[in-house]
């Protein structure tokens, strides 16, 4: 990688404070099975499917797969929702994922277990300030990560996910375009280093991935010399630099199934372990350290907003329908353009390599 100093927006936003993790009452196996059975019945009665992200609770991922739904990264979630014949999509993830599903499927009802499940990247990139930032740099092509509001997407030229960011930015750089990137500065800096594109970065970060510590990872690697280190590019540079594989959630899961290593140190949200265990039950998975000096846990990498998705909140929304995603039609018409641009690009790239695969 070529060392370079990132150009980052000079008026940083106030830090985003993550909410406490929701505390769901423990369910004994009989009660959990009964709850899952009730949810199955509600899904069937409402012609609804579950679309769950890899960071959500394992029970939700299992239920999605058992009931004809889908578990995926945000790009595949968007694709699946658009292809599904169900009348209702129940998106288990965070709000921008529900919004993307609604933008692509305006005729479908889109529910989420809890509409308050947001994302520090989305929260840290308000549309008014972002619009002013774009207006100040009219010579740049605006590329936004999927972890943004519908209003921010509507102001962009391209939407990308972590699995398609590299080929899209390479494509833009090859056309001689300069990029304005938002909101994740760590992912933006990674893409900048990999592509050599001229990029101006918004000053945002994921509160989960930013906590991974390079010095503690270095110590852990020495204790596990046979382990491959898998890192999501929302992590800081000093963590990414130690990775054997840098990539989207899908790329990291693929690495666990395909690399010969017996152990993996994984620097992304702990929700991903459910799918990794399912696909590679004999591999040992070790959570990369988030703990700093004086911390009370070694690794606390779980998104508090993803944790708002639970069997209990899922049943509640299927009973009440009160957490429905709605997007104002004119906003939707603008936001769908850069999302479709990404999906069309991805469709044309099916045989090309994806981010750090
Ligand atoms: S893990 Fe980070 S990027 Fe993903 S939803 Fe949570 S805060 Fe946002």
Q: Would you say residue 326 has pLDDT above 60?
A: yes
Q: What is the pLDDT of residue 2?
A: 47
Give per-residue burial for 322-347: e unless 16+ CB within 10 Å, then b: ebebebeeebbeebbebbebbbebbe
User: How far, in Å, from the CA of 44 to the mean position of ligand 1?
Assistant: 30
CA-nearest residue, atom 8 of ligand 1: 119
> Does 145 sit in the ligand 1 pocket, CB within 6 Å?
no
Q: What is the pLDDT of residue 355?
A: 43
pTM of the model: 0.91
Q: Would you say residue 294 has pLDDT above 60?
A: no
Confidence category of residue 299, pLDDT binned at 50, 70, 90: low
Higher pLDDT pick, 8 / 184? 184
Contact 138, 14 (CB under 8 A): no
- The CA distance from 123 to 203, in Å, is 12
In this structure, what token pair is assigned to residue 145? 């990560």
- The CA distance from 251 to 163, in Å, is 8
Q: pLDDT tens-digit profile of 114-128?
A: 999 999 999 999 999
Q: What is the pLDDT of residue 291?
A: 72
132-141, 219-228, 262-271, 283-292: the lowest-pLDDT one: 283-292
Is residue 322 classed as helix, strand or coil in its secondary structure?
Answer: coil
Share of the chain above pLDDT 90, in %: 81
- The CA distance from 129 to 159, in Å, is 18
Q: Would you say residue 79 has pLDDT above 90?
A: no
> Does 303 sit in the ligand 1 pocket, CB within 6 Å?
yes
Q: Would you say residue 213 has pLDDT above 50?
A: yes
Q: Would you say residue 293 has pLDDT above 70?
A: no
Higher pLDDT pick, 179 / 297? 179
Q: Would you say residue 93 has pLDDT above 50?
A: yes
> Does 120 sit in the ligand 1 pocket, CB within 6 Å?
yes
Confidence category of residue 177, pLDDT binned at 50, 70, 90: very high
Q: DSSP for 152-174?
A: HHHT-SEEE-TTTHHHHHHHHHH
Q: Would you say residue 74 has pLDDT above 90?
A: no
Average pLDDT over residues 4-24: 76
Q: Would you say residue 192 has pLDDT above 80?
A: yes
Q: What is the pLDDT of residue 82?
A: 81
In this structure, what token pair is assigned to residue 277? 């265990």
Contact 256, 230 (CB under 8 A): yes
Q: What is the pLDDT of residue 354?
A: 47
In this structure, what token pair is assigned to residue 270? 């702990």
In this structure, what token pair is assigned to residue 23? 């505390």
Q: Would you say residue 238 has pLDDT above 90?
A: yes
Contact 97, 77 (CB under 8 A): yes
Q: Would you say residue 11 has pLDDT above 90?
A: no
Contact 204, 121 (CB under 8 A): yes
Q: Which atom of ligand 1 is nearest to the CA of 269?
A: 1
Q: Would you say residue 202 has pLDDT above 70?
A: yes
User: How far, in Å, from the CA of 120 to the mean position of ligand 1?
Assistant: 6
Give the residue from 264, 224, 258 showing the smallest Cα distance to 244: 264
Share of the chain above pLDDT 70, in %: 93
Q: Is the dihedral of CA 21, 24, 25, 26 positive or negative?
A: negative
Give CA angle at 287 (304, 251), nearest 5°. 85
Average pLDDT over residues 141-169: 96
């Amino acid at each position: 990688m070529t060392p370079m100093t990132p150009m980052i927006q000079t008026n940083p936003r106030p830090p985003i404070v993550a909410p406490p993790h929701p505390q769901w009452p423990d369910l004994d196996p009989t009660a959990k099975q009964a709850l899952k059975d009730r949810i199955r019945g509600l899904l069937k009665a409402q012609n609804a499917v579950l679309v769950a992200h890899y960071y959500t609770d394992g029970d939700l991922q299992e239920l999605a797969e058992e009931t004809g739904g889908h578990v995926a990264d945000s790009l595949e979630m968007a694709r699946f929702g658009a292809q599904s014949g169900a009348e209702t999509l129940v998106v288990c993830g965070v709000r921008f994922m529900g919004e993307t599903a609604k933008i692509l499927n305006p005729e479908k009802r889109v529910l989420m277990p809890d509409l308050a499940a947001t994302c520090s990247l989305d929260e840290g990139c308000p549309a008014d300030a972002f619009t002013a930032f774009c207006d100040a740099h009219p010579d740049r092509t605006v590329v936004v990560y999927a972890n943004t509001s519908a209003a921010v997407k509507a102001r962009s030229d391209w939407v990308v996910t972590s699995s398609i960011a590299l080929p899209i930015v390479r494509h833009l750089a090859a056309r001689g375009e300069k990029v304005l990137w938002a909101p994740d500065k760590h992912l933006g800096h990674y893409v900048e280093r990999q592509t050599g594109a001229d990029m101006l970065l918004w000053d945002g970060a994921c509160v989960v991935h930013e906590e991974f510590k390079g010095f503690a990872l270095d110590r852990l690697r020495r204790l596990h010399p046979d382990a491959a280190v898998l890192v999501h590019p929302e992590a800081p540079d000093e963590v990414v630099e130690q990775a054997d594989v840098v990539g989207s959630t899908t790329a990291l899961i693929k690495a666990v199934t395909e690399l010969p290593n017996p152990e993996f140190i994984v620097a992304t949200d702990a929700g991903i372990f459910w799918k990794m265990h399912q696909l590679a039950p004999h591999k040992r998975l070790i959570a990369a350290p988030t703990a700093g000096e004086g911390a009370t846990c070694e690794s606390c990498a779980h998104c508090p907003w993803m944790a708002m998705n639970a069997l209990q909140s899922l049943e509640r929304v299927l009973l009440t329908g009160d957490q429905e995603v709605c997007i104002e039609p004119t906003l939707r018409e603008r936001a769908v353009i850069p999302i479709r641009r990404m999906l069309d690009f991805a469709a044309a790239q099916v045989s090309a390599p994806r981010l750090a695969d």
